Amino acid sequence: MGRPSRFTPEFKRAAVDLVLSSGRPVNDVARELGVGNEILRNWVNKRRRRPEVDGQVPATPADKDAEIARLRAQVAELQQESLILRKALTQPTAA
């Protein structure tokens, strides 16, 4: 039997969520949280291998397709907003 973990399951879940959602390197997040790099990397790898262990249900193909469609629509909207802002910045102002 191993020694008890000094990190709560909630802390582990939040740390892994931070790595996965932020896209930041594990080393940066580990340093910020005061956790060893390899410990956090193990938690992240465990979640990636078995997301259902952490209370998450793996997404179905239909869920993934819906998420992709939502994200594509969001990208199109943001591109349109960007275009509008760029045009507004390049047009001379009337005095």
Q: Are 15 and 29 in contact (CB under 8 A)?
A: yes
Range in 6-10, 28-32, 52-56, 81-85 with the lowest mean pLDDT: 52-56
DSSP string, 35-81: --HHHHHHHHHHHHH-GGGGTPPPPPHHHHHHHHHHHHHHHHHHHHH
pLDDT tens for residues 39-65?
999 999 998 887 665 555 556 787 788
Look at residue 89 and give its three-state secondary structure: helix
Tokens of 87: 């045009």
**Measured between alpha carbons, how far is 2 from 5 in angstroms, rounded to an integer?**
9
Would you state the CATH architecture of domain 1-58? Orthogonal Bundle (1.10)
**Measured between alpha carbons, how far is 71 from 57 in angstroms, rounded to an integer?**
20
- Per-domain residue ranges for the chain? 1-58, 59-95
Residue 87, pLDDT > 70, answer yes
